[in-house]
Amino acid sequence: MPITPATATHSSSNGTADAILLELVDENGVTVGTAEKLAAHQPPGQLHRAFSVFLFDERGRLLLQQRALGKYHSPGVWSNTCCGHPYPGEAPFAAAARRTFEELGVSPSLLAEAGTVRYNHPDPASGLVEQEYNHLFVGLVQAPPRPDSEEVAETVFVTPDELAERHAEDTFSAWFMTVLDAARPAVRELTGPSAGW
């Protein structure tokens, strides 16, 4: 796994780990400041920049991930291929490609912007709040995923029908349907009508 600010261990002069900062934004997505990651997710939540990635195989199936049980936010739930937060000043596109590789060991092909969506989703299990201005991306995956077990418990490729079955039976992230629905026009353009998205 590559060493990045997200995976490296940093110590400040007083011996504590450096805080991970998120980029706070206004309702138009304009940067207005920064906040520590956990603080931004404490109720009522601070609006911050995020991204969500949807990758598909050559058959038009969506790659889902089950979040690792050790994650502090939404552990063990199923979600889209990859999601996260750019570092302050990092382009969302670059962050999306970086985190997809860090979490799943794959580099997306034909990664394209698919719009933005703004939402406010409380997570009842953790008590945290997703108050996000989310940049959406769609693309292809052309190599088998090699997930980082600290980030991802399991992966699976699903058709729309298989997703509907799994969504009815398993627990998904609070934001999953919001970001999928917002990305659907770009998903349909990428996968074609026969894929059924």
Cβ 36 vs Cβ 16: under 8 Å: no
Q: What is the DSSP letter of 193?
A: G
CA distance 18 to 20: 7
Catalytic residue, candidates 83, 102, 103, 130: 83
Interacting residues of 79 by C-beta distance below 8 A, sequence separation 6+:
64, 65, 66, 67, 172, 173, 175, 176
Structure-block tokens of residue 7: 């995976």
Instruction: Judge whether 130 counts as a catalytic residue.
Output: no
Query: What are the φ/ψ torsions at residue 110 (nearest 5 degrees)?
Result: 50, 35
CB of 164 closer than 8 Å to CB of 62: no
User: If residue 96 lies in a helix (H) or strand (E), which one and from where to where?
Assistant: helix 92-104
Contact status, residue 137 vs residue 56, Cβ threshold 8 Å: no
Catalytic site residue from 23, 103, 130, 132: 132
132 assigned to active site: yes
Q: Cα separation of 180 and 140, whole Å? A: 16
Catalytic positions are 83, 132
